[in-house]
Amino acid sequence: MMEPPEEMEEEFNEWYDTEHIPEREAVPGILSAQRFVVNEGFPRYLALYDLESIDVLQSESYKRIGGDHLSPWTRRIIRSVQGLKRNVYKQTFPGAARISKEANALALWAYDIDAIEENELNQWYDKEWISHLKKTDGFLNIRRFISVEGFPKHLTLLDFKEIRFLKDEADQKALLFREAIKFEKYLKGTIHGLYRKYLKK
C-alpha cells in the first residue's frame, strides 16, 4: 500500500506500470501482479502479488531487484510516497487459489485477535460467513492469510466481479462485515478497504 503526492501521481503510475510491475513479473515464482485503487480512504493504491512460495522473496532473482539493488527511479518514488505498508502473508484458505481473473472489485479485511477468541471466529468464517458471501451479488472468491512479515496478523481478501459493487462504501461494509460486529470487541488493528481494479490510462 502507498500513496504518492498529488503532483507525482502521473509519474508514480508510469513507474509502477513500466518498471516496478514488469520487474517483478519477470521473477520466477511471482505468479501474478495486480493493482487496485481504494474506493475511499488512504493510502490510495494497493498492489497484490501471488507467490509460488514465501521462498521467492529470498531467491537470487528477487534480490537482484530489491534491497540494495533498487533502481534510482524506485528509490526516488519510495522516498516521496506516504502510507507505505509492505506485508507478506501465507495463504491458509482455500489451498493455492489465486486472485480471480474476473475480479474488478476487491474487499480487504485485516485484523489481530487474541488466540482465545480466534477459534470462535474461525468457526464463524467456516459455518456462517462464507455461506453468506456466496449469496452476495457478484461474489467470486474468498482467501484467508496469516502474516509472515508485517501486521495485522490476519488478512481476508474477497473478489467481486463488478466495480458497481463499490458505489456505496458504507452500505457495502455493512453487508460484508455486519455479522463480524459480534467480534468487534476482540479485534485490534482492524483495516477495512474496498477497492476497484486499477486500469492503465
CA dihedral for 186, 188, 194, 197, sign (positive or negative): negative
In CATH, the number for domain 6-86 is: 3.30.70
- Give the pLDDT score at 165: 60
Please name every residue paired with 196 in a beta bridge, in sequence order, or none if there are none: 37, 105
Q: Which residues contact 153 (CB under 8 A, 6 or more apart)?
A: 111, 112, 113, 146, 147
- The SS3 of residue 150 is coil
pLDDT lower than 70: segments of the chain: 163-181
- Give the pLDDT score at 90: 96
- Give the pLDDT score at 56: 97
Of 2.30.110.20, 3.40.1190.20, 3.40.50.2300, 3.30.70.100, the CATH number of 90-197 is 3.30.70.100
- Give the pLDDT score at 167: 59
Please name every residue paired with 34 in a beta bridge, in sequence order, or none if there are none: 48
* Residue reference for cell 470487541: 185
Q: What is the pLDDT of residues 99-132, one digit of tens each?
A: 888 899 998 989 999 888 888 888 888 888 888 7
Q: Which residues contact 75 (CB under 8 A, 6 or more apart)?
A: none
Domain map (residue ranges) of the chain: 6-86, 90-197
- Give the pLDDT score at 43: 95
Give the DSSP letter string of 71-93: -HHHHHHHHH-BS----EEEEEE
Domains 6-86 and 90-197 share a fold: yes
Cβ contact 153:88 at 8 Å: no
Cβ contact 32:52 at 8 Å: no
